[in-house]
Amino acid sequence: MPTADDDLNQQNIDRFNAIAAEWDSQPRHVETASAVAEAMRVALAPTGEESLLEFGCGTGLITAALAPHVARILALDSAPGMIDALREKLRRHGIDNVDAKVGDLPDNLPEGRFDAIVSSMTMHHIADTDALLRVLFDRLKPGGRIALADLDREDGSFHGDKPDIAQHGFDRTVLADKLNAAGFADVEFTTAHHMERTLDDGTTRRFPIFLAVATRPG
């Protein structure tokens, strides 16, 4: 029987399918992805030999930025339209170390463990953060690391009346406690970017985007 979470997820998929073709034409999307990808690269300091999972990859702006720095990326998104856009980007740029698949977390993840798991602006679409973090911990190799970017806790202004938002950002202290409870160690937060957004009332506001990095103990 479908649940409220199933309905929320389908709304999410439908909305992102509808906007996939125009996503990269929005300068703020490109600017945010560039800043977050660079923050991830610096924090993770990949050697070029890592296997990486990116969930909620969208059109692959971050995927394409990180691909030259790792051995392999499995890029997942629940919206087929986003994956179609990513596959076209991979073809156009000759990127051959990325496997782009339709799928989501925490329920639909291929088998295997990864050296690193990354995501940007996806967690706020997932209702059960605790379940998500447990899955991420399980799918990391010992010593593996996560780098998760999302909004600081806000009042709902960022998304306005969009129906597919599970959480209005995250309190860093609360999220750190959840990461520790899931088994992660060495939790660190930085501010990766500030996104400027015009709100429903016409005013402009800058929203901080954090990057949370943590390790599965070896």
Encode pLDDT of 157-166 as tens digits: 898 877 778 8
- The helix or strand, by DSSP H or E, that contains position 63, with its residue range, turns out to be helix 61-66
Question: CA angle at residue 95 from 90 to 100, to 5 degrees?
Answer: 50
Q: Comparing C-alpha atoms, which of 44, 21, 45, 59 is closest to residue 145?
A: 44
CB-based contact 73:99 (threshold 8 Å): yes
For the ranges 2-11, 22-31, 141-150, 205-214, the lowest mean pLDDT is seen at 2-11
Note the pLDDT of residue 107: 64
CA–CA distances in Å: residue 128 to residues 90, 105, 172, 178: 31, 10, 16, 11
- Predicted confidence at residue 4, as pLDDT, reads 46
Which residues partner with 215 through β-bridges? Answer: 145, 185
pLDDT confidence of residue 3: 42
pLDDT of residue 6: 55
pTM over 0.75: yes
C-alpha angle 102/10/178, rounded to 5°?
A: 80
